[in-house]
Chains A and B, each alone.
Chain A
Amino acid sequence: SAVISQKPSRDICQRGTSLTIQCQVDSQVTMMFWYRQQPGQSLTLIATANQGSEATYESGFVIDKFPISRPNLTFSTLTVSNMSPEDSSIYLCSVTKETQYFGPGTRLLVL
């Protein structure tokens, strides 16, 4: 199994600002992903965080809006840039270790 922590667990931000979310795993993993779960919706994959190279983004998500870092095999960050109220969501980090495990999520409210 994998134990995943995320910081912050929640935040309230003003529009136009940026927030960086951290994801830490208790062991080295090859695959790390970032998902978004908007209110009343299911999870949507934002991007795959690749160690040593640029993240791979899904359709509808771009690097300028959601820059991602993956400096090593246990850590990744997702930044939500120039936030608007539409970015209010839960952001979840996920890793693959036999199966996919999810972090507890970061609840973001943009005013």
Chain B
Amino acid sequence: RKEVEQDPGPFNVPEGATVAFNCTYSNSASQSFFWYRQDCRKEPKLLMSVYSSGNEDGRFTAQLNRASQYISLLIRDSKLSDSATYLCVVSQGGGADGLTFGKGTHLIIQP
């Protein structure tokens, strides 16, 4: 069983729409959760951390359900520039541990 599972997509979404991604993780000892964004031929960059209480950053909202070991990302009013691969990432600890990545969900925003 893969440690972090995501729907690879691609998700083809019209500009301005709302899109949601989900991910599940298998290691119940995971303590830290993130969404990273990776553009084509670029390194991953942190989009946002995910907290149990849920958190929002502009058009982006992330939720964590520890009981179900499930993480979500919601993008509202999607822009063409949101087209990228979104990586669900977990870690067992703080900064001392490496990250475990999902394979990513490909998002294509269409004009």
| Interface status of A103 (Cβ within 8 A of chain B) | yes
Interface size class of B (residues with CB under 8 A): 10 to 19
Instruction: Return the chain A residue nearest B102 by Cβ.
Output: A42
Which positions 45-80 of chain B face chain A at CB distance < 8 Å? Answer: 45-46, 49
A58 beta carbon closer than 8 Å to chain B:
yes
Q: Is the CB of B95 within 8 A of A43?
A: no
Q: Please, how many angstroms separate the alpha-carbon atoms of A96 and B91 in the complex?
A: 12
- Contact between chains at B101 and A96 (CB < 8 Å): no
Smallest beta-carbon distance B88→chain A, Å: 9
Q: Of the candidates B43, B96, B99, B103, which one forms a contact with A41 in the assembled complex, judged by CB atoms under 8 Å apart?
A: B103
Say yes or no: A100 contacts B95, CB within 8 Å.
yes
Main secondary structure of the interface of A (DSSP, over half): strand
- Determine whether B16 belongs to the interface, using a CB cutoff of 8 Å to chain A: no
CA separation between A69 and B84, bound complex, in Å? 33
Tally of contact residues, A, Cβ under 8 A: 23
For residue B111, CB closer than 8 A to chain A, the reply is: no
Question: With A41-B103, A42-B104 given, is the CB distance from A33 to B46 under 8 Å?
Answer: no
In the complex, A44 has a CB within 8 A of chain B? yes
- Provide the residues of chain B in CB contact with A33, threshold 8 Å: 98-99
A42 nearest CB across to chain B (Å) = 4
Known pairs A42-B87, A45-B100; A96 contacts B44 (CB<8 A): no
Interface residues, chain A, with chain B CB atoms under 8 Å away = 30-31, 33, 35, 41-45, 48, 58, 92, 94, 96-105
B residues sitting closer than 8 Å to A (CB atoms) are 34, 42-46, 49, 87, 95-96, 98-104
